[in-house]
């Protein structure tokens, strides 16, 4: 599908405008648009995105430019629209923003986050003059494939499923330009390293390494070519040697790491760690023969030796740590170390724990290296703002749901609660601003109550599921049966919890009355239908190994077989110190210092995986709730990745658990108050007549007055007149609403921008570009630390160059300081005042109509004459902002300062009067007299916004002959300043 600016697609582009406000109407509108290639639809300010499962021509640079330069409300729905609103809200309101991308696995969340970052990085740096902007943009976008290689895997739902939560903060400076970024990761599914469900795979990097390693690297890592030789990769039914795996993918990852700035040494360490994990997985244990104490031995010691060599540790130390464990005995006066042999089961558990921990450490190491390259090093955070982008795996229901699914779904419960809270708050505030009381929205109220009860069930400190699981892990012999009995004991009456015991006690009388001949109790099976709306499982068989939770997205059965083992995911001290003894500095640095300190003595119980998850989730929600949220709701149209099949039952279930229909209803409740709002706001006789006439026109045209909606092409002239009048009143009401929400800081900036418009619009080239940039009073390069000027009186500071009055080639660096009443010119170290001009002594300020950076302050009764200054920026934006602020400040003090914009400027230079002529590049060769001094200035390059340093060509006259001196320049267009002696 080709993008058409005038085509918003079939149906309605905003679900709020649906005529048939029902589940079927919502679904049919979504299906119709998706089948025609329109994958985005609004719900007010929320974007609903349906995965197209095919390439679409919607993300070109031309389309980015369209959404940058036009009002997004006049364009078809697009993810760029939300990105643009987010960026401009951050810039104009100086508030941190957050984009939360939610949806099921395979619905397109990762691609959405890429598009958001690409748009913001492209647009935010559009007007920047800093070379670092392109660097930051490239770093942010290039980090994605590396993180996907180490953090994504193939699942039954998605070939490139994110198995970790990624929250990226895009950092911006005071001008709204990207200054850096920071990546935080949450909930890495490290259990995938050692085991995967059927038809799923391990993380991409393992297969990329095996398929793409050059012979020399393969020999160094001691790897074979096929994944079938490695236990951690060959226990799935998936085709592990799939020919579709790109053999160049490893080279692409290495090239990307090079572009990010990760050193060759660190890259090799990452690959050595990955290879070591594969060798660890192949270590095989057998029970010891004879002896009273249970123990185990390693049958293939060569795998231990290869892993140890890659990790830089002693092979005997590693082997001993895998088959035994030392425990400190503090009985008596001295501490004794007791060596406890491990049986085969515990030895395998230790091996897997080391593999999972090592992968987690490597992943954290990679994130740290990426952050080192993209994080802003600017110490001044006072004017920094961020846009956060959260991409985290969505709600999951598999045939077998384990501990990982409980963690993932709990996280999604939190994010859903946050969405409900924010939507409820924003709608309530909308009603309050309109002057009407809030009618309780039962959907949102019920959802908040449901969330409260659900988190009491899961997160309660003494009786919650995670707390009971942690308690069970502390038992001498923990068991899943005991854990399930505790859940039944505390939660058997909870309405969002279900289990075999609860079902049996509730239905025993019902089952007896049916007199089932085969004696088998009927209940839901371990296989739960995926996200179907009416999930009744009365005819399925009871199992004693699961419990059920009724999440917002549907009922999920969790198999408890390995809950205790996965939660008790601790790495004992012998393995920690074995890894810490590595000869390779990189692997020693992988171990957190706190981890080494804790394992030096048994001082506290190690954190379980559940504890780590709760801490990580709390940090995530703290990060998200501190910012203004924007939402993208992603929908998966089918489970077969087809670009033509729209599974209505699947999509309906997703719409239900995302609460889309109720969100539409809540948004649509406000228009029914449109008439009383207009009546209350516009009470004059003219407005009253206008309103009555409009009402009559609408009724005569056969429309419902209360539920009136705008259309681009009204059916008749009467309706057209009514809509135009309503549109006029609506815009006035929206303008009033906007003015009420303007902060004092924002109002001051708008006054400043308005002053610039009054002075320079259609008069000076470069003004249009200045409109898009923030005006900043204080430059970080001119931090004023001097007792010469009272700091509380300072209004503006910036570095400038003072141009010599007699020789414009001579320029001296100075600091420009504007106070309430005067302008100070200080030397470069702010130790001496070189010039001081009262605002009342300024007769006028001159600048050229060209896109340059020069202004001339004309001073009354000055023996030195007027003052010519240039800014560091090589375009007109900064000079426009400075002149506008001086003019605005003078007007507030009752001082009128004329602004002269002309190609020819007269300037007093000591006792002489000089005339400066500003010329365009194509007028450079025009006839000029020999007493002219030319200074060439390179103007704005519109495409790249790069600025070049001033390059001078001087021409002067001796008494006997004319001597011309040229400083060589490279090609390009130049503006010219000519000084004529008089």
- C-alpha torsion 489→495→497→502, nearest 10: 60
**Euclidean distance between CA atoms 518 and 521, whole angstroms:** 9
Paired with 187 in beta bridges are none
Q: How far apart are CA 561 and CA 479, in angstroms?
A: 9
Q: Please report, for residues 231, 406, 754, 924, 955, the alpha-carbon distance to residue 936 in angstroms, rounded to integers and kept in the order given.
A: 70, 67, 31, 9, 12
Answer whether 564's CB lies under 8 Å from 478's CB.
yes
Question: Looking up tokens 């419990």, which residue turns up?
Answer: 547
Tokens representing 487 are 């859940």
Cβ contacts of 294 within 8 Å, gap of 6 or more: 287, 288, 341, 343
Determine whether 282 is an active site residue: no
Q: Which of 174, 394, 659, 865 is catalytic?
A: 394
Q: CA 972, CA 974: separation in Å to the nearest integer? A: 7
Instruction: Give CA–CA dist 593/596, Å, rounded.
Output: 5
Q: State the catalytic residue, choosing from 29, 122, 144, 161.
A: 161
Rounded to 5 degrees, φ, ψ at 116 are: -60, -50
- The span from the CA of 918 to the CA of 936, in Å, is 9
What is the separation of C-alpha 234 from the centre of its chain, rounded to a whole number of angstroms?
36
Contacts 24+ apart (CB under 8 A), 478-486: 478/564, 478/568, 479/564, 480/545, 480/560, 480/561, 480/562, 480/563, 480/564, 483/560, 483/563, 483/564, 484/547, 484/560
How far apart (Å, rounded) are the C-alpha atoms in residues 143 and 370? 7
Q: Alpha-carbon distance 950 to 975, whole Å?
A: 10
For residue 317, give both structure tokens.
């130390």
Is the CA virtual torsion 727, 733, 736, 738 positive or negative? negative
Catalytic-role residue among 49, 162, 324, 401: 162
| Share of the chain residues as helix, strand and coil, in percent rounded to the nearest 5 | 45, 20, 35
Distance CA 524, CA 535 (A): 10
396 is catalytic: yes
Measured in residues, the chain has a length of 982
Report the C-alpha gap between 396 and 107 in whole angstroms: 12
Answer yes or no: 106 catalytic.
Answer: yes
Based on the residue annotation, tell me whether 105 is a catalytic residue of this protein.
Answer: yes
In the numeric block, which tokens belong to residue 224? 């074979």
- Residue pair 370/165 in contact (Cβ under 8 Å)? The answer is no
Catalytic site residue from 396, 430, 459, 472: 396
Q: In the structure encoding, which two tokens stand for residue 343, read together?
A: 């049986």
CB neighbourhood size of 100 (10 A) = 21
Name the active-site residue from 9, 44, 103, 106. Answer: 106
Spot the catalytic one: 105, 567, 846, 853: 105
Q: Let me know if 110 is a catalytic residue.
A: yes
Name the catalytic one among 29, 158, 499, 568.
158
> With 0-12 CB in 10 A as exposed, 13-18 as middle and 19+ as buried, what is 210?
buried
Between 685-700 and 717-740, two packed helices, what is the crossing angle to 10 degrees? 130
To which H or E segment does residue 919 belong?
strand 912-919
Contact 81, 69 (CB under 8 A): no
The label of the residue with tokens 């007149």 reads 721
DSSP track, 496-549: TEEEHHHHHHHHHHHHHHHT-TT-PPB---S---SS-SS---TTSB--SSEEEE
Contact 483, 469 (CB under 8 A): yes
Q: Which of 72, 110, 236, 875 is catalytic?
A: 110
DSSP string, 923-948: GTTS---TTEEEEEE----TTT----
Catalytic residues: 105-106, 110, 158, 161-162, 394, 396
């Amino acid at each position: 599908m080709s993008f058409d600016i005038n085509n918003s697609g079939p149906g309605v582009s905003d679900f709020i405008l649906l005529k048939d406000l029902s589940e079927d109407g919502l679904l049919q509108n979504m299906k119709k648009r998706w089948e025609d290639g329109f994958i985005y639809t609004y719900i007010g300010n929320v974007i609903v995105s349906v995965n197209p499962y095919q390439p679409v021509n919607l993300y070109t640079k031309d389309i980015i430019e369209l959404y940058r330069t036009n009002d997004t409300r006049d364009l078809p729905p697009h993810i760029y629209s939300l990105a643009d609103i987010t960026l401009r809200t951050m810039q104009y309101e100086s508030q941190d923003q957050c984009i939360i991308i939610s949806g099921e696995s395979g619905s397109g969340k990762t691609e959405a986050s890429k598009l958001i970052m690409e748009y913001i990085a492209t647009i935010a740096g559009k007007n920047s003059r800093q070379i670092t902007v392109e660097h930051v943009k490239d770093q942010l976008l290039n980090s994605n494939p590396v993180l996907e290689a180490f953090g994504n895997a193939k699942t039954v739902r998605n070939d490139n499923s994110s198995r970790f939560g990624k929250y990226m903060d895009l950092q911006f400076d005071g001008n709204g330009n990207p200054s850096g970024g920071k990546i935080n990761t949450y909930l890495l599914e490290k259990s995938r390293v050692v085991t995967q469900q059927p038809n799923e795979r391990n993380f991409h990097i393992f297969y990329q390494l095996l398929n793409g390693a050059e012979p020399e690297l393969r020999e160094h890592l001691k790897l074979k070519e096929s994944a079938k030789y490695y236990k951690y990769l060959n226990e799935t039914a998936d085709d592990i040697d799939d020919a579709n795996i790109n053999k160049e993918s490893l080279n692409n990852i290495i090239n990307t790491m090079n572009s990010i700035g990760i050193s060759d040494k660190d890259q090799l360490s990452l690959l050595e760690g990955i290879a070591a994990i594969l060798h660890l997985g192949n270590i095989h244990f057998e029970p010891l023969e004879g002896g009273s104490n249970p123990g185990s031995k390693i049958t293939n010691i060569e795998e231990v030796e290869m892993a140890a060599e890659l990790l830089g540790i002693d092979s005997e130390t590693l082997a001993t740590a895998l088959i035994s464990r030392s425990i400190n005995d503090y009985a008596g006066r001295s501490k004794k170390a007791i060596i406890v042999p491990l049986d085969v089961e515990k030895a395998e558990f230790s091996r897997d724990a080391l593999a999972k921990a090592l992968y987690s450490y490597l992943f954290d190491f990679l994130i740290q290296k990426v952050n080192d390259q993209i994080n802003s090093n600017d110490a001044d955070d006072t004017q920094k703002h961020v846009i956060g982008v959260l991409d985290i795996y969505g709600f999951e229901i598999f045939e077998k749901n384990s501990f990982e699914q409980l963690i993932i779904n709990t996280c999604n419960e939190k994010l859903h609660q946050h969405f409900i809270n924010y939507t409820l708050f924003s709608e309530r505030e909308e009603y309050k601003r309109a002057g009407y009381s809030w009618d309780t929205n039962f959907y949102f109220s019920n959802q908040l109550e449901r969330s409260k009860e659900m988190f009491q069930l899961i997160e309660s400190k003494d009786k919650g599921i995670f707390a009971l699981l942690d308690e069970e892990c502390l038992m001498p012999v923990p068991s899943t049966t005991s854990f399930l009995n505790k859940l039944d004991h505390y939660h058997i009456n909870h309405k969002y919890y279900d289990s075999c015991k609860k079902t049996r006690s509730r239905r025993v009388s019902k089952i007896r009355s049916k007199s089932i001949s085969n004696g088998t109790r009927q209940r839901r099976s371990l296989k739960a239908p995926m996200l179907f709306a009416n999930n009744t499982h009365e005819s399925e068989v009871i199992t004693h190994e699961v419990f059920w939770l009724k999440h917002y997205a549907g009922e999920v059965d969790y198999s408890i077989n390995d809950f205790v083992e996965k939660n008790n995911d601790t790495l004992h001290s012998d393995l920690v110190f074995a890894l810490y003894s590595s000869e390779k500095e990189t692997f020693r640095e992988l171990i957190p210092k706190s981890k080494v300190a804790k394992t030096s003595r048994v001082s506290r119980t190690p954190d379980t995986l559940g504890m780590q998850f709760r801490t990580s989730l709390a940090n995530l929600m703290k990060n998200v709730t501190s910012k203004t949220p924007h939402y993208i709701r992603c929908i998966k149209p089918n489970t077969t990745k087809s670009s033509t099949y729209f599974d209505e039952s699947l999509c309906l279930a997703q719409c239900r658990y995302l609460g889309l229909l109720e969100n539409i209803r809540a948004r649509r409740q406000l228009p029914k108050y449109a008439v009383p709002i207009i009546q209350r706001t516009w009470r004059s006789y003219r407005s009253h007549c206008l309103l009555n006439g409009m009402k009559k026109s609408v009724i005569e045209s056969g429309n419902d007055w209360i539920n009136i909606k705008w259309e681009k092409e009204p059916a008749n002239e009467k309706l057209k007149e009514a809509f135009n009048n309503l549109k006029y009143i609506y815009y006035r009401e929206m303008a009033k609403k906007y003015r009420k929400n303007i902060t004092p800081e924002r109002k001051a900036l708008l006054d400043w921008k308005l002053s610039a418009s009054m002075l320079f619009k259609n008069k000076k080239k470069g003004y249009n570009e200045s409109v898009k940039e923030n005006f900043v009073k204080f430059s970080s390069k001119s931090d004023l630390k001097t007792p010469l000027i009272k700091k509380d009186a300072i209004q503006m500071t910036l570095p400038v160059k003072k141009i010599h009055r007699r020789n414009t080639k001579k320029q001296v660096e100075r600091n420009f300081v504007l106070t309430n009443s005067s302008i100070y010119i200080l030397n470069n170290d702010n130790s001496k005042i070189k010039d001081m001009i009262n605002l009342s002594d300024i007769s006028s300020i001159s600048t050229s109509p060209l896109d340059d950076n020069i202004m001339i302050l004309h001073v009354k009764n000055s023996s030195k004459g007027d003052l010519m200054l240039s800014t560091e920026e090589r375009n007109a934006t900064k000079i426009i902002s400075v002149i506008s602020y001086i003019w605005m400040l003078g007007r507030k003090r009752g001082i009128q300062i004329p602004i002269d914009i002309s190609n020819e400027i007269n300037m007093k230079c000591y006792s002489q009067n000089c005339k400066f002529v500003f010329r365009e590049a194509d007028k450079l060769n025009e006839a000029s007299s020999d007493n002219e001094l030319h200074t060439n200035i390179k103007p704005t390059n519109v495409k790249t916004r790069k600025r070049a340093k001033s390059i001078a060509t001087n021409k002067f006259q001796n008494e006997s002959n004319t001597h011309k001196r040229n400083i060589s320049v490279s090609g390009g267009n130049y503006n010219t300043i000519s000084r004529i002696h008089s």
